[in-house]
Structure 1
Amino acid sequence: MIGGYALRRELGRGGMGVVHLAATPAGSLAAVKVIHPHLARDPAFRRRFDREVAAARRVARFCTAPVLDAGVEDGVAYLVTEYVRGPDLAQAVREQGPLTGANLEALAVGIATALHAIHGAGVIHRDLKPSNVLLSPLGPRVIDFGIAQLVDTESLASQAILGTPAFMAPEQVRGEPLTPAADVYAWGGVIAFAGTGRLPFGGGSPSEVLYRIVSDGPNLEGLDESVRAVVERAMAKDPARRPSAQRLLDELVGGRPTPATASQVVERAWAGGGPVAPGGAGLREGSAVAAGPGVAGKPGATGGSGAPGEPGVVRRPGASGEPPAVGGPGAPGEPAVVGGPGAPGGSALSGEAAVAGAPVRSGVTVARRRRWPWAAGVAVLVAVLVSGVTLYAGSGAPTSPYRAGFAESWAVGASDGGSTELDGGVYLLTANPGWRLWKSAPFSEGSAGGVVVSSRMRLREGSGEFGVWCRGDADTGDRYEFTVTASGEASITKRHDGRGVVLHGPVRMRKSADNRVVARCAQQGERVVLGMWLNEEPVGETEDAQDPYGPGAVGVHAAPDTATPVLVGFQSFEVRPAEG
């Protein structure tokens, strides 16, 4: 334990300390960097550590892992950041080879967006390198401002050579005053490495590499032409000739995108859906990713990562009482069992797939691309799309109350993220490792008053989490999720902007082979009240008054928590108006 955080396992080690996966006091997950004691005792380092915390707190969250907390306990300093689920870029390239096409461009935009946020806070990262880029299901996240320094008189005058030799700018090697242009240079080196699998200035001793950085040009042979020209400008020897982070985004995305717009472009491109940014901004003409009008997914995780129990947990008192009625029209007020064994139902998808889900609009055609297993944030059901199937797009939706006949208007098919199929009226959803698969019913909330959603489900293979969701937005992936895990824990989560905030839970419930989840999403004035029941027992109730979501889509979801797929069978699905 340190600072109230329970350290679970080691995630990595570095020059500053050891990073642990940890449980927060509220029960969510975070990454806790415990600083080496000999450093923490050094007054000079402590001053630098304090600057790191102050700098990191000023950085916007776009494509970064935000700082949640920091402190000193018994002489040990620690820093708490959002836990990002996924490998770092160095590991991914080493294990799976260089990125190309859409994946490479999405990476370039994501890291440039992070630099825009970092520089906008008056900070220079100073150590941008592949191991400081984590590949979350929703796109890249830049981490570790361990040697970042505020852009002020002191940092500009610093002569210390801090950073990783292979990705240093020439002026950094010479010990000259640094500006944000040094990070732009490192961005070029990171993209060159990602796209070729080689260090831009080769290997050898640090002194040899540093000499080449100052004297030679980078080796960009084999780098995709779509990004090569931008990388060349970013790695100009003269800092004054390099583009700013904003200019990088202008060239990569087109127009003058904001960090928010660029983040959406990254998420769409990461999904392989052909991103088109709000307001018409998309990847520049001719880009391998600008292939068609995709739809973004902004969940949570997604550490964004979409993993359960992410930081930012708000605990609320549990609710008491019985679950709302979800029975047939003649059973008001009864906590009816929805869809038992003989009920119609099954497995069908509405054309949405993804770790934090980006729904796919009908008529969208997406070409097949090589995809890495971790680049799965908002994936497209390629098999369904390529076959020319028109997916439900919201017109002619069934009216409330709605009860699923999964063979009608729910999409069925396979993708890199998993598959969905019908098996005797049961809707089977298989989610692959690193993915969060969420599927929409052919039904949208027609009333601002709210709905009650229920589903009976069974975990058939693997381990993970699954459940239902409400108030979904097809363009952003925003939604409220009601989740149960293989171990019987239940929670209510708000998904937004690539991240999940747990509003209630996790609550330990009785473990059961078959689970019936009942979720109530009701509007009360300016807030949304959310209630959950599991197997007729109350999990709890919470409310969202912070930019609550309006009426939207409903559906089911699943995500594995191990390196093997999770298979969930949804036996029934029903939606009724929320009353009272």
Structure 2
Amino acid sequence: MSGERVVGGYVLRRVLGRGGMGEVHLATTPAGGLAAVKVIHPSLARDPAFRRRFEREVAAARRVARFCTAPVLDAGMDGDVAYLVTEYVKGPDLAQAVRERGPLSGSDLEALAVGIATALAAIHGAGVVHRDLKPSNVLLSPLGPRVIDFGIARLVDSDSVVSQSILGTPAFMAPEQVRGEPLGPAADVWAWGGVIAFAGTGRLVFGGGAPAEVLYRIVNEGPRLDGLDEGLREVVERALAKDARLRPTAQQLLESLMGGRRLSPASATEVVERTWTGPGLPATDATPVRPAPSVRPAPQQGADVRRAPQMGADVPIAPKVRRRWPWVAGAAGLVVALAVGVVVVPQVLAERWPYDAKFADSWATGTSGGGNARVVGTGYVLTAEPGWRLWKSAPRSEPDGGVLVTARARLEQGSGDYGVWCHGSTGSGDRYEFGVNGAGRATIVKRRAGQKGTPLYGPAAIKGSTGYERIVAECGGGDAGRVALRMWVDDRLVAEVTDGGDPLGTGEAGVHAAPDTKESLRVRFESFTIARTKS
């Protein structure tokens, strides 16, 4: 298309935001996916000293694990243009969420606190200091909070407090940052306290006004925390200690929030995603993304889809009530469950969304012509025979409206497609299937009874995995005769399309597997969740 701007092979679609260092663009990757591309101001990029810092800091940022962060995917120089590519996170930032919908509370606020602490633990574990943690640098995705721009503030010379104050946000600067002292991880912990207090009260803990006034209060006055949930207030107070040596580390923050239990960033991320329901805001980019021209529909394997035997009886949907559950007690139960590989849902959570599978409870098992389904330990194993597509439904129907269906799966034998489906019906065979393939492909296929599947996306190449693939599918609520479909693999958005041709509505959800050779396909599903999306 004429007039397109391409930087480093990424086609810039539109501006997502502007800051002191440059512009952030929504971009299409060379493989046809989406990414966020930060294009640095030319005046900075032409500075040889900046280029040296750019290479050094980007190398450090790429070491940060992806837990509750938007990881750095690529970076480089395209002529005189410096660019930084991160995973695109679809959702509003925390500042926008609080501005438009008010403060967060209950399990969402608690999940936010744990999520940002988890991100800081991952960032600090890679030897990086964020230096500019603030609400606009926390994006609220359907899966939970994601911290962005870690380490980027250091790209500009920060030898003086003046340059730091220009880059940073005064309201979230630690006292040592105000005084122009060297910064360490404790400065990020201070900012965590200010961000969580802002999220829970809607106010800046040291008030507003002229920057000089705010900076004076940070150094000389105490924070205003009235109105913050009591369960978080004590932890936030310790994070906002004037003396950096008295603040907890990010890992200690995490332990305090989890009732004293030590938790890895990976396990903490799972806890966050199992309790996060979101702030109820629409995503910032609602435009459907069509596949790149190089992407072609997947060839169909075999003849018409054959249905497996009875998928298992549905159970009544719990009343649509929102109850706050005790964070420490409930999360502690999940911590124990994650430690032994068992998904245990506290009783109060079982009465509301999300639905978290216990595969031994009413999931269909047995052998048919299409293959075998069985519970093995804490997992659910599907073995699909050649020429068959084996699909099983969860023993609980979807809630009204849009849903997120999440599964962690591993290919154990053979080759073919496997994944999750939603908006389906075991009576008719209709459903949207979201599949990955051991060869590194992703597809979204619409299936109707008695018809071959209609590819809506793919096959598109994705980065392979040697462990469990974490597959997340979003099926919209079908407003105005259209259903938005999105797919993530290992926290990376890989597909986004809209079905406007007689779309499928709320129904059932489950898992599927289908071999593409004469060998059977065996897939182990280690977890499965159905959650509501926000309208």
Amino acid at match of 1:260: A
Report deviation, 1:76. Answer: 1.1
Secondary structure of the structure 1 residue equivalent to 2:82: strand
Report deviation, 1:55. Answer: 2.4
Residue pairs, 1:147-226, within 5 angstroms: 147-149=152-154, 160-162=163-165, 163-226=168-231
Residue 560 of structure 1, aligned match among 476, 487, 496: 476
Matched, 1:380 2:345: no
Matched, 1:436 2:439: no
Q: Deviations over 1:398-454 (max 9, x none)?
A: 4334699x999742353xxxx2xxxxxxxxxx42xxx524699xxx99995678889
* Residues 234 and 243 in structure 1, CA contact (< 8 A), matched pair in contact too: yes
Residue 397 of structure 2, aligned match among 399, 409, 412: 412
Report deviation, 1:575. Answer: 7.0
Matched, 1:42 2:47: yes
Secondary structure of the structure 2 residue equivalent to 1:212: helix
Report deviation, 1:364. Answer: 4.4
Secondary structure of the structure 2 residue equivalent to 1:72: strand
State the partner residue of 2:85. Answer: 80
Amino acid at match of 1:266: V
Amino acid at match of 1:412: S
Residue 467 of structure 1, aligned match among 432, 450, 453: 432
* Residues 138 and 267 in structure 1, CA contact (< 8 A), matched pair in contact too: yes
Q: Deviations over 1:276-305 (max 9, x none)?
A: xxxxxxxxxxxxxxxxxxxxxxxxxxx9x9
In terms of mean alpha carbon deviation, does 216-225 or 172-181 score higher? Answer: 172-181
Secondary structure of the structure 1 residue equivalent to 2:24: strand
Amino acid at match of 1:397: T
* Residues 249 and 257 in structure 1, CA contact (< 8 A), matched pair in contact too: yes
State the partner residue of 1:122. Answer: 127
Amino acid at match of 2:354: V
State the partner residue of 2:76. Answer: 71
Residue 301 of structure 2, aligned match among 323, 326, 348: 323
* CA shift in 2, pair 1:22/1:12, >3 Å: same
* Residues 98 and 202 in structure 2, CA contact (< 8 A), matched pair in contact too: yes
Residue pairs, 1:300-449, within 5 angstroms: 323-324=301-302, 335-336=303-304, 338=306, 364-366=347-349, 379-381=353-355, 393=361, 397-401=365-369, 410-412=395-397, 414=399, 419=400, 430-431=401-402, 435-437=403-405
Residue 465 of structure 2, aligned match among 546, 566, 580: 546
Q: What is the TM-score of this pair, normalised by structure 2? A: 0.66
Secondary structure of the structure 2 residue equivalent to 1:79: strand
Distance 1:399 1:319 in 2: 29
Matched, 1:5 2:10: yes
State the partner residue of 1:259. Answer: 265
State the partner residue of 2:324. Answer: none
* CA shift in 2, pair 1:506/1:3, >3 Å: farther
Amino acid at match of 1:258: S
* Residues 106 and 270 in structure 1, CA contact (< 8 A), matched pair in contact too: yes
Q: What is the TM-score of this pair, normalised by structure 1? A: 0.62
In terms of mean alpha carbon deviation, does 533-542 or 70-79 score higher? Answer: 533-542
Distance 2:175 2:71 in 1: 29
Matched, 1:270 2:276: yes
Q: Deviations over 1:124-176 (max 9, x none)?
A: 111110000011111111101364449xxx98998853411000011111111
Matched, 1:504 2:482: no
* CA shift in 2, pair 1:26/1:348, >3 Å: farther
Distance 1:455 1:574 in 2: 4
Identity in percent: 52
Secondary structure of the structure 1 residue equivalent to 2:15: strand
* Residues 398 and 508 in structure 2, CA contact (< 8 A), matched pair in contact too: no
Report deviation, 1:561. Answer: 10
In terms of mean alpha carbon deviation, does 114-123 or 561-570 score higher? Answer: 561-570
Residue 96 of structure 2, aligned match among 82, 91, 98: 91
Structure 1 unaligned runs (5+)? 273-302, 325-334, 353-357, 370-378, 420-429, 460-465, 469-480, 483-491, 495-501, 519-532
Amino acid at match of 1:336: D
* Residues 410 and 468 in structure 2, CA contact (< 8 A), matched pair in contact too: no
Report deviation, 1:183. Answer: 0.8
Secondary structure of the structure 2 residue equivalent to 1:399: strand
Distance 1:26 1:316 in 2: 9
* Residues 172 and 194 in structure 2, CA contact (< 8 A), matched pair in contact too: yes
Structure 2 unaligned runs (5+)? 1-5, 319-337, 371-387, 425-430, 484-502, 520-535
* CA shift in 2, pair 1:454/1:336, >3 Å: farther
Secondary structure of the structure 1 residue equivalent to 2:97: helix
Q: Deviations over 1:450-486 (max 9, x none)?
A: 7888999999xxxxxx722xxxxxxxxxxxx33xxxx
- Bigger proportion of residues as helix: 2
State the partner residue of 2:335. Answer: none
Amino acid at match of 1:67: V
Secondary structure of the structure 1 residue equivalent to 2:7: coil
Secondary structure of the structure 1 residue equivalent to 2:77: strand
Distance 1:573 1:137 in 2: 19
Report deviation, 1:39. Answer: 2.2
Q: Deviations over 1:298-321 (max 9, x none)?
A: xxxxx9x9x9999xx9x999986x
Amino acid at match of 2:475: A
Amino acid at match of 2:268: A
